[in-house]
Structure 1
Amino acid sequence: MPNQKFSTKNTKSIKDTSIVHQRHLVLNEKYLKDTASAWITDSAEVVGKNLHDPFRTSVSINDNMKVPFKIGVHKAVGGDHDFPNPGDLLCASLASCFESTIRLISNKLRIELIETKIKVIAQIDVRGTLLFDTSVPVEFQTMHIDLLIVAKNTNEKLLNTLINGAKRSCIIYQTIKKGIPITLNTDVKIKN
């Protein structure tokens, strides 16, 4: 099969055997009938505990599962960095979304993945966030993805289709790449 040419004729039989494609067909039908059902909400929540400790907190991921995750503050801004920091979580979010997208698309294309490795690196000059130099933007200045894919039953053209499809379909990649406005509601109370 490695030398097999992938034409549109072959694509139908490939998709018919893909579990991802089968599930996407069901979802497509559902979303065509009810576009509102395509809207999902992801969430995370921090409920402050041990507020006397400025360097550590915990975030619960997902409203239903409430998976707890310890967070530490980076050494570069005065913390101990003894737990993953929010920047680490941002990198983890991009790496896991990109790899998941690779898996879904490779299943649809019937590419047999042997190994994947996605490493995300984000860099920031922290002088802006610390107000040491207000001309430095308070944001990651660069983000980079190192991608390794080892696969069977494919060719270079199909692998390019896979990678371009992942870039196009990875929600976190597209969100970070384009940016998104963030709204903020506040409820502040002062206790004496």
Structure 2
Amino acid sequence: MPTTQTNLRELQAPIKARYQEQPDAARITLRVKSAASDLADPLHCAISPEAAPDIVWQSGAHPGVGGLGDVPCSGDLLLGALAACQEVTLRMVAAAMGIVIESLEVEAVGELDLRGTLGMDREAPVGFSSIRCESRVKVKDDGRPERAKRLLENAERYCVVLNTLRAGLPVESTFSLSDQ
């Protein structure tokens, strides 16, 4: 059943009330871990989000570094997280504002030089050099174009993945060998 403006606000009201009373309850930790996969296969892996352990996402090396191209690469998953976050944020903000979306398309595009990944050129960075995300939204005309503009501004403001990537926060990563 689609969530409407009314029941989205009803859904969020007790959540917001709880966070108002207990601000620490709003601080959450998301976790994604490796899932069972064939360790003899160097081109593929599987991961699973802790919040939905029955869901397994397959990923693999990009064809540009020797992958088969049969599953999304990790860069696709990163771009997918951005696109999904922008789309669901637009949908939720529109619902909260009582704006009807007639069409919505989000496209995330990332550019990188695979020579860095392949260790061919020390000057070539490893990772994306740029990411663009475009959201094209058509809303039902209610005679108040300023509301549509506010929808876009609020969606940009509240998109978690977009703002995380823009902030360039520190990422801690450890690699260790397990004892036999």
Which TM-score tier does this pair reach, normalised by the shorter chain? 0.7 to 0.9
Match of 1:175 in 2: 164
Q: Decide whether the 8 Å contact of 2:86 with 2:135 is kept in 1.
A: no
Match of 2:151 in 1: 162
Deviations along 1:29-64, one digit per CA (max 9) or x if unpaired, are 211111111012222111453222111111112344
Gaps of 5+ in 1: 1-16
Match of 1:40 in 2: 28
- Distance in 2, matches of 1:145 and 1:47, equals 29
What is the root-mean-square deviation of aligned Cα atoms in Å? 1.8
- Distance in 1, matches of 2:7 and 2:160, equals 21
- Once superposed, which parts of structure 1, at least 4 consecutive aligned residues long, lie more than 4 Å away? none
Is the counterpart of residue 131 in structure 1 residue 95 in structure 2?
no
Bigger relative CO (Cα 8 Å, ≥ 6 apart): 1
The residue matched to 2:56 in structure 1 has which SS?
strand
With normalisation by structure 2, the TM-score equals: 0.88
Gaps of 5+ in 2: none
Which runs of structure 2 are paired with 1:80-159 in the superposition (5 Å)? 80-154=68-142, 155-159=144-148
Superposition deviation, residue 186 in structure 1:
4.1
The residue matched to 1:67 in structure 2 has which SS?
coil
Superposition deviation, residue 153 in structure 1:
4.1
Q: Decide whether the 8 Å contact of 1:19 with 1:108 is kept in 2.
A: no
The residue matched to 2:126 in structure 1 has which SS?
coil
Identity of aligned residues (%): 25
In the alignment, which of 61, 67, 72 is matched to residue 73 of structure 1?
A: 61
Number of matched pairs: 175
Q: Decide whether the 8 Å contact of 2:35 with 2:56 is kept in 1.
A: no
The residue matched to 2:117 in structure 1 has which SS?
coil
With normalisation by structure 1, the TM-score equals: 0.83
The residue matched to 2:68 in structure 1 has which SS?
coil
Superposition deviation, residue 185 in structure 1:
4.0
The residue matched to 2:116 in structure 1 has which SS?
coil
